[in-house]
Amino acid sequence: MSDASSQARPTALVTGAAAGIGAAFARRLAREGYRLVLVDRNGGRLRETAPSLSAECEVIAADLVVDADVARVEERCREGVELLVNCAGFGHPTGFLATPVQAEVAMSRLHTETVLRLTLAALPSMIERRRGGVINIASVLGFFPSSTYSATKAWVINFSQSAAVKTRPHRVAVTALCPGFTRTEFHDSAGMNMSKIPGFLWLDADAVARAALRDWRSGKALSVPGWQNKAIVALGRLTPSWVIARLLARSGRRPLVSRAGDPQ
C-alpha cells in the first residue's frame, strides 16, 4: 500500500477491541477500508488478531481504568480519528451492596469518565474537519433502574444524546448504541448459564456492529439494534418506574456482567 493511499483511508479507534462487540466493530471497519487503532487491556490478544484483519492496525495495550493509560489514548484521539468507538466495559456478577466499592468506582470510571475524556479528546479535530463522529456503547439496561451498571449506561445514553445535539451543526454524529443479549464468548468465559434466555432475544455481534454503523451514518443519536431490543426499550419507557422496580425485586435478576467485559 502506498503512503498516499494509506493516508486517504479514514482512521477508527476502537476500545475493548480484543473480543465481543468491539472485535466485531474492528472486523466491520477493516472490511470498509478503515485504518484501525485497536485498544484493549489484553494487548497480547490484540497483537494476535490484528494480522487477521484486512487493515492497517495500530495496537495500544491500555487498561482504561488507569489514569496514565487513559491519558495515552486521549493523546492518540487528539492526533485525529474519523471514528471513535467507546466499547470497553465491565460489570459485576453481584449487586452493589455485595460488591467492593473500589470495583464499583473502577466500573463507573470506565463507563463514564473514560467515555467522557476520550470523546472530548476526539471531537475537536472532527469538528474542525466537519466530518466523523463517536459511537458510545450503552445497553438496553440503561433504560431500567436495575443496578450500578445500568446507571452508568443510562449516563452514556444521556451524555451521547446531549453531545449529538451540540455536534450535529458541525456535521459530526454522536450515537449511543444500546444492545441487549448478543452472542459473544463473554458469557462462557464468565461462567454464566444462559440456557434460560430465549433464542429469539439473541443477536449476532457482527449484526449489532453493522446496525450501529448504519444508524451512526444516518445521524441517529440512539441506536437500538433488533426488534427485540426496540420492544424492550419501548416497554421500559412506557412502564411506570415503580412497576419496573417491583418486577426487578421479585425476579432477583442481576445484570449479566463480569470483569471480563460487557453484557452483550
* pLDDT one digit per residue (tens) for the chain, 264 residues: 445 445 578 999 999 999 889 999 999 999 999 999 999 999 999 999 899 998 899 999 999 999 999 999 999 999 999 999 999 998 777 777 888 899 999 999 999 999 999 999 999 999 999 999 999 999 998 988 878 989 999 999 999 999 999 999 999 999 999 997 655 544 444 334 445 555 555 578 899 999 999 999 999 999 998 778 788 888 777 766 666 666 565 554 443 333 333 433
Looking at the 3D structure of the chain, how many domains does it have? 1
Q: Does residue 258 belong to any structural domain of this protein?
A: no
Containing 250, the helix (H) or strand (E) segment is helix 241-251
Taking the C-alpha atoms of residue 14 and residue 53, their distance in angstroms, rounded to an integer, is 14
Q: Does residue 259 belong to any structural domain of this protein?
A: no
Q: Does residue 257 belong to any structural domain of this protein?
A: no
Per-residue model confidence (pLDDT) at position 57: 95
Q: Does residue 127 belong to any structural domain of this protein?
A: yes
State which residues form the domain around 34: 3-251
Specify the pTM. 0.85
Taking the C-alpha atoms of residue 224 and residue 219, their distance in angstroms, rounded to an integer, is 13
On whether the CB atoms of residues 254 and 93 are closer than 8 A, the answer is yes
- Please name the amino acid found at residue 61: A
Taking the C-alpha atoms of residue 85 and residue 13, their distance in angstroms, rounded to an integer, is 6
Tell me the residue ranges of DSSP E strands in the chain.
11-15, 35-40, 57-61, 83-86, 133-137, 173-177, 182-183, 203-204, 222-223
Taking the C-alpha atoms of residue 142 and residue 127, their distance in angstroms, rounded to an integer, is 28
Please, what sign has the CA dihedral across residues 66, 262, 214, 238? negative
No. of H helices and E strands in the chain? 11, 9
261 secondary structure, DSSP code: B
Cα 92 to Cα 109, 139, 149, 180, 260, distances in angstroms: 14, 15, 8, 17, 9
Q: Does residue 132 belong to any structural domain of this protein?
A: yes
Q: Does residue 263 belong to any structural domain of this protein?
A: no
Per-residue model confidence (pLDDT) at position 37: 98
Cα dihedral 130→136→140→145 (10° resolution): -110
Q: Does residue 260 belong to any structural domain of this protein?
A: no
Taking the C-alpha atoms of residue 34 and residue 25, their distance in angstroms, rounded to an integer, is 11
Q: Does residue 264 belong to any structural domain of this protein?
A: no
Cα 104 to Cα 62, 127, 192, 253, 261, distances in angstroms: 19, 34, 20, 18, 14
Q: Using CB atoms within 10 Å of the CB of residue 196, give its burial: 0 to 12 exposed, 13 to 18 middle, 19+ buried.
A: exposed
Per-residue model confidence (pLDDT) at position 237: 74
The enclosing domain of 38 has a CATH number of 3.40.50.720
Taking the C-alpha atoms of residue 16 and residue 160, their distance in angstroms, rounded to an integer, is 18
Cα 117 to Cα 72, 76, 113, 122, 184, distances in angstroms: 11, 12, 6, 9, 27
The distance in angstroms from the start CA to the end CA of the chain is: 35
